[in-house]
Amino acid sequence: MNRIEAVLFDFDGTLWDCEPFIFQAYDECFRQHGHRLSDTTWLRMMGTAGLSPWEHLEQLTGRRVDRAAAERLVRRRTDELLVTARARSGIRRLLDEVDQDGLHRAIVSNSNRSWIARYAAQCGIADGWAFVECADGDLVRAKPAPDLYLTALARLGLEPGQAVAIEDSPAGIRAAKRAGLRCIAVRTHPAVEGADALIDSFDRHDLTSLLATVTSAVELR
């Protein structure tokens, strides 16, 4: 059994609870066009770079949508709503435990570096990361491709069996599994599946019990 040396965290939806606010911003835009954003479309978008719902909205309306205007509206509304978003309950305690046990921790995300810096600071979780590995608009490297996780492992000098990924989206789970990682998923949507373990909240787990969900004989460094 490889010892666990690192915990690799997705950012959006995993470290902070932003997804309901972003969904609301898109749904409000859909409603302006007389429709609602479906759970199926949202789940397909979650954690995936380069996907937008506008083609789906055009299918629903039967006409072209001014996508640039719609994106501006969603960005403005998202900024307004995310002012109140905070770190997930229990995550600060978990990060402290990772540090106390001498494990590496890194952020592995499809989001842009500036977005991560902004909202990590807002949530009070900006410090202590070994590094941030993010797509920064590179759709080839973005999840569900395994590239971001493989690069993170290489930067740490670790094999996949020495790290655990924590995710919340289907795309993120696929990326982690394709990189050979064990993956724990926070259940942010009823249809999220494919991870080695699913949890409802960080509040119910300390570090040891959390890692024990993906291995029966966890060894910490």
Nearest to 171 by CA among 190, 197, 145: 145
**Structure confidence by residue, pLDDT tens digits, 127-138:** 999 999 999 989
User: How far is it, in rounded angstroms, from Cα 149 to Cα 35?
Assistant: 37
Query: What number of other Cβ atoms are within 10 A of residue 35's Cβ?
Result: 15
| pLDDT value, residue 53 | 85
| pLDDT value, residue 47 | 61
Tell if the pTM clears 0.75, that is, is over it.
yes
| pLDDT value, residue 82 | 95
Domain ranges of the chain: 6-17+86-211, 19-82
pLDDT at 195 over 90: yes
| pLDDT value, residue 52 | 75
User: How far is it, in rounded angstroms, from Cα 95 to Cα 127?
Assistant: 10
**pLDDT band at 73, cuts 50/70/90?**
very high
Min mean pLDDT across 45-49, 58-62, 123-127, 202-206 is at 45-49
User: How far is it, in rounded angstroms, from Cα 186 to Cα 189?
Assistant: 9
pLDDT at 220 over 50: no
Q: What is the CATH number of domain 6-17+86-211?
A: 3.40.50.1000
Percent of the chain residues topping a pLDDT of 90: 71
Min mean pLDDT across 16-25, 35-44, 64-73, 133-142 is at 35-44
**Structure confidence by residue, pLDDT tens digits, 94-115:** 999 999 999 999 999 999 999 9
The tokens describing 156, both together, are: 């740490």
Q: Which residue has the higher pLDDT, 141 or 52?
A: 141
| pLDDT value, residue 193 | 84
**Structure confidence by residue, pLDDT tens digits, 79-99:** 999 999 999 999 999 999 999
pLDDT at 217 over 60: no
- How much is the mean pLDDT over the chain? 90
In angstroms, the Cα distances linking 180 to 69, 146, 149, 196 are 40, 9, 9, 12
Q: Answer whether 106's CB lies under 8 Å from 6's CB.
A: yes
**Structure confidence by residue, pLDDT tens digits, 13-22:** 999 988 889 8
